[in-house]
Amino acid sequence: MISLNMISLKRTRAIAKKEVAHVLRDPFTLLFAIGIPLFLVAVFGTAIDFDIKNVSIFIDDRDKSQTSRELVQFFNNTGIFNTKYITAKVNPESEISAEKSKGVIVIEPGFEKGVQEGKSVGLSGDSRVVQVIIDGADNSVAGSILGYLVNMQENIGKISANDRGLFSVEQSSITLKSRFLYNPELNSHFFIIPGLLSVVISIVSILLTALTVARDWENGPMEQLLSTPVRPSEIILGKITPYLFLGIGSIVVVYLLARYGFAVPFRGNHLVFIFACILFLTASLSQGILISVISRSQVISMQMAMISGLMPSILLSGFIFPIESMPLFFQYLTSILPVRWFMEISRDVFLKGSGVIDLLKSFLALGGLCLFIITMATMKFKKDLEP
């Protein structure tokens, strides 16, 4: 562990001042720290959308009746499907295999007659009902389509013809009303942007410091620095501090974009969020320092930073895949990633307004990782200095 009694604030401040001078002389560092997160959140925040929209669905209406057209209108009214009629001569499966459609709705002859006779209409392969063929190659889209279809069937219930030949739905005596907390509109941007902030800041923070120590080893300043009575802990803290403030500035810029560019609500306490950001940035910057200390090469540091920062931040942080759905081994593996815990804090503070007590487990884990990584970097630095 780092002992504060062994750290000279004067020497630490001198190292931090040197690092600030380097940042100011290098416009790319400022652009990378501020501009890249802003650009990535703006682009991916707009492009990534977990809501299923404009799904291409072909309609093979072999009944060609008023009732079948009413059924197609049910699909159109969802705002999810983009329907297009095809002729019976076209093979539905060939349309799906050619990537022209995600599914085909086949309405068999006699559909209207079956409805008028009061027969129950569902979604299956029977000749008197509607058949839906779905492209299962993309299981995420297929699962969403199936979910909407099941929901439609439950809402439609038994379909029968009224006096005008249009659909009427048998009303149940039980009415279920759903209410979604924290995100009533189920706007996926409200869920994506806080998570994207965590991923982008994690990657940028690790890359920022992964080159610092390695650069000094390659260019010579490290040997001059070690000729003075400076301690490894002072070097590490001195190099982290300027990038910590730079990272906070980056988070502020991305926060403003989230609030006023994407209209993401913020229901939590700003002090809680800032405290979490400081812990998260310190852990991520320390991870970059540890990589830099181990490699001593800028090329190797960059490669190690990409491997340890990019893919885990995206795939194992809970940004895309729920951690609870992962195998047990990977659930434990994600616990060593600071971005996993900050992801929970960011989303809960933004959308739920959670406090420190509500997120105590995440804060303790983030603080523990922060201390552990800094200690590891310091110990490794000491071993490297020994003959």
Q: For 155-193, how does the pLDDT look when each residue is reduced to its tens digit (9 = 90+)? A: 544 444 343 333 333 444 444 455 667 777 777 888 889
Quote the pLDDT of residue 350. Answer: 93
Quote the pLDDT of residue 357. Answer: 92
In which band, very low, low, confident or very high, does the pLDDT at 125 lie, cut at 50, 70 and 90? very low
If asked whether residues 320 and 239 sit together in one domain, one would say: yes
CATH number at residue 133: 3.40.190
CA distance 366 to 348: 15
What residue type is 48 in one-letter code? I
Whether residue 297 is contained in a domain is answered as yes
If asked whether residues 229 and 344 sit together in one domain, one would say: yes
Domain that includes residue 125, residue range: 55-169
CA distance 223 to 304: 23
Residues 54-72 as b/e (b if ≥16 CB within 10 A, e otherwise) read ebbbbbbbebebebbbbbb
Least confident of 110-114, 307-311, 318-322: 110-114
Quote the pLDDT of residue 115. Answer: 65
If asked whether residues 149 and 275 sit together in one domain, one would say: no
Quote the pLDDT of residue 19. Answer: 82
In which band, very low, low, confident or very high, does the pLDDT at 101 lie, cut at 50, 70 and 90? confident
Least confident of 41-55, 91-105, 153-167, 191-205: 153-167
Phi, psi angle pair for 165, to nearest 5°: 80, 10
In which band, very low, low, confident or very high, does the pLDDT at 225 lie, cut at 50, 70 and 90? low
Show the CA angle centred on residue 259, arms to residues 258 and 263, nearest 5°: 95
Quote the pLDDT of residue 385. Answer: 52
Residue 30 near residue 20, CB atoms below 8 Å: no
pLDDT beyond 60 at 67: yes
Whether residue 22 is contained in a domain is answered as yes
Whether residue 109 is contained in a domain is answered as yes
Quote the pLDDT of residue 182. Answer: 78
pLDDT beyond 90 at 142: no
Domain total of the chain: 2
CA distance 193 to 183: 13
pLDDT beyond 60 at 119: no
Q: Find the farthest-apart pair of alpha carbons in the chain and give their distance in angstroms, rounded.
A: 96
CA distance 343 to 296: 30
Nearest to 200 by CA among 129, 143, 257: 257
If asked whether residues 41 and 104 sit together in one domain, one would say: no
* pLDDT single digits (tens) 15-30: 888 888 877 887 788 8
If asked whether residues 143 and 31 sit together in one domain, one would say: no
If asked whether residues 333 and 251 sit together in one domain, one would say: yes
Residue 318 near residue 334, CB atoms below 8 Å: yes
* pLDDT single digits (tens) 345-375: 999 999 888 999 999 999 999 999 999 998 8
Quote the pLDDT of residue 121. Answer: 47
In which band, very low, low, confident or very high, does the pLDDT at 6 lie, cut at 50, 70 and 90? low
If asked whether residues 8 and 70 sit together in one domain, one would say: no
Whether residue 267 is contained in a domain is answered as yes
CA distance 323 to 48: 19
If asked whether residues 240 and 361 sit together in one domain, one would say: yes
Residue 41 near residue 33, CB atoms below 8 Å: no
In which band, very low, low, confident or very high, does the pLDDT at 153 lie, cut at 50, 70 and 90? low
Show the CA angle centred on residue 379, arms to residues 376 and 380, nearest 5°: 85
What residue type is 272 in one-letter code? V
* pLDDT single digits (tens) 273-316: 999 999 999 999 999 888 888 887 888 888 888 888 888 888 88
Q: Which phi-psi region, left, alpha or beta, contains residue 64 (left: φ > 0; alpha: ψ -120 to 50)?
A: left
If asked whether residues 110 and 146 sit together in one domain, one would say: yes
For the entire predicted model, the pTM comes to: 0.76
Quote the pLDDT of residue 274. Answer: 95
How distant is the alpha carbon of residue 347 from its chain centre? 10
In which band, very low, low, confident or very high, does the pLDDT at 382 lie, cut at 50, 70 and 90? low
CA distance 40 to 109: 52
Residues listed for the chain: 387
Strand-pair partners of 123: 130
Quote the pLDDT of residue 371. Answer: 92
Residues near 203 by beta carbon (within 8 Å), at least 6 away in sequence: 309, 310, 313
Quote the pLDDT of residue 66. Answer: 82
If asked whether residues 261 and 284 sit together in one domain, one would say: yes
pLDDT beyond 50 at 209: yes
CA distance 261 to 357: 30
Whether residue 328 is contained in a domain is answered as yes
* Structure tokens that stand for 297 in this block: 């090469």
In which band, very low, low, confident or very high, does the pLDDT at 266 lie, cut at 50, 70 and 90? very high
CA distance 181 to 186: 9
Q: What is the mean pLDDT of the chain?
A: 78
Quote the pLDDT of residue 64. Answer: 81
The percent of residues above 70 in pLDDT, for the chain, comes to: 79
If asked whether residues 237 and 363 sit together in one domain, one would say: yes
Quote the pLDDT of residue 223. Answer: 61
Whether residue 215 is contained in a domain is answered as yes
Torsion of Cα atoms, 331 then 376 then 287 then 293, to 10°: -140
Residues near 266 by beta carbon (within 8 Å), at least 6 away in sequence: 255, 259, 273, 349, 350
Whether residue 320 is contained in a domain is answered as yes
If asked whether residues 292 and 196 sit together in one domain, one would say: yes
Compute and round to an integer the Cα radius of gyration of the chain: 29
Show the CA angle centred on residue 6, arms to residues 368 and 366, nearest 5°: 10
* pLDDT single digits (tens) 68-99: 787 788 777 777 788 888 876 777 677 777 77
Given 169, 201, 228, which residue is the final one in a domain? 169
Which is more confidently placed, 10 or 361? 361
Whether residue 176 is contained in a domain is answered as no
Query: What does the pLDDT average to over 45-64?
Result: 79
Which one of 80-94, 329-343, 372-386 scores highest in mean pLDDT? 329-343
